């Protein structure tokens, strides 16, 4: 199958390579000319045979919105656009409406797999009309991992990114739990070899997972994590998950706490903790640590 791919970074570039290795014809565009097959979006569209399918792998937000808007002017009726980035599910409705007015189909795909996807395959959570999803199945079949799992047609437009949002919210909480357990053992006078404990959990325990495997890998490379600063970003999905929980009145204490822990990681000297220290000093005369 022929496919246009916009955005050839770590994910998009590896997805393009995986598809090409299995015989698909992928024409790529990227702002970096050294990665691109064509020099512009108009050239990309011209290089594809109708009916075209174009997959977007650029940062969520304005970058994706502007790319969809430009494609709406370049593509033709019967063509198909796929957003495989981390867009908010509510953006998908707008994208589908804009493209649908010109007879262009739209599919949203939540993609998980990171830098390992090239060799291991990508988990794909897909939203869109059945006919559009069926048309893209040759692509999905080659990107997904081997076996029965790793692909779902989650529902209509927006369902793919919604499922990926929840997936990432769960990921936040799982990583926070592993991190808290790691810190507790590091602080303990009883455990003498924390990295080996983490390694032992990789088999036979109910908490084994790929994330645990990756933590073990990180500790092999840097046993005390001395080369890494404890500053953690968030790409949006965790916030959106908590916002949805508030909207739907669904309790998500673990996911919400893991999100706030990331915010706390960015404070070298927490203003909130300064206020707590000041209050303890005022009401109880507890000592405060001077600057």
Known active-site residue 171: yes
Secondary structure (H, E, C), the chain: CEEEEECCCHHHHHHHHHHHHCCCEEEEECCCCCCCCCCCHHHHHHHCCCCCEEEECCCCCHHHHHHHHHHHHHCCCCCEEEECCCCCHHHHHHHHHHHHCCCCEEEEEEEECHHHHHHHCCEEEEECCHHHHHHCHHHHHHHCCCCCCCEEEEECCCHHHHHHHHHHHHHHHHHHHHHHHHHHHHHCCCCCCHHHHHHHCCCCCCCCCHHHHHHHHHHHHCCCCCCCCCCCCCCCHHHHHHHHHHHHCCCCHHHHHHHHHHHHHCCCCCHHHHHHHHHHHHHHCCCCCCC
Of residues 20, 120, 171, 244, which has the active-site annotation?
A: 171
Q: Out of 142, 164, 176, 237, pick the active-site residue.
A: 164
Active-site residue 199, yes or no? no
Q: Which residues are catalytic?
A: 164, 171
């Amino acid at each position: 199958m022929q496919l246009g791919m916009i955005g050839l970074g770590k994910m998009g570039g590896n997805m393009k390579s995986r598809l090409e290795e299995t015989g698909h014809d992928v024409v790529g565009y990227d702002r970096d000319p050294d990665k691109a097959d064509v020099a512009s979006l108009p050239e990309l569209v011209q290089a594809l045979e109708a009916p075209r399918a174009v997959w977007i792998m650029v940062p969520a937000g304005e970058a994706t919105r502007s790319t969809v808007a430009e494609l709406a002017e370049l593509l033709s009726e019967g063509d198909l656009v796929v957003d495989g980035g981390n867009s908010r599910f509510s953006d998908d409705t707008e994208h589908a409406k804009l493209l649908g007015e010109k007879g262009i189909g739209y599919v949203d795909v939540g993609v998980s797999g990171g830098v390992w996807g090239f060799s291991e395959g990508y988990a794909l959570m897909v939203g869109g009309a059945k006919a559009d999803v069926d048309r893209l199945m040759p692509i999905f079949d080659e990107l997904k991992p081997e076996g029965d799992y790793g692909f779902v047609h989650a529902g209509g437009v927006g369902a793919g990114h919604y499922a990926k949002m929840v997936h990432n919210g769960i990921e936040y909480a799982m990583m926070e739990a592993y991190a808290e357990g790691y810190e507790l053992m590091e602080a303990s006078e009883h455990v003498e070899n924390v990295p080996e404990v983490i390694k032992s959990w990789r088999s036979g325990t109910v908490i084994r997972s790929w994330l645990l495997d990756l933590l073990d890998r990180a500790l092999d490379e840097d046993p005390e994590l001395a080369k890494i600063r404890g500053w953690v970003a968030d790409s949006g999905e965790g916030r959106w998950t908590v916002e949805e929980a508030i909207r739907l009145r669904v309790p998500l204490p673990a996911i919400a706490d893991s999100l706030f822990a990331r915010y706390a990681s960015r404070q070298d000297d927490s203003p909130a903790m300064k206020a707590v220290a000041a209050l303890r000093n005022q009401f109880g005369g507890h000592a405060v640590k001077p600057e």
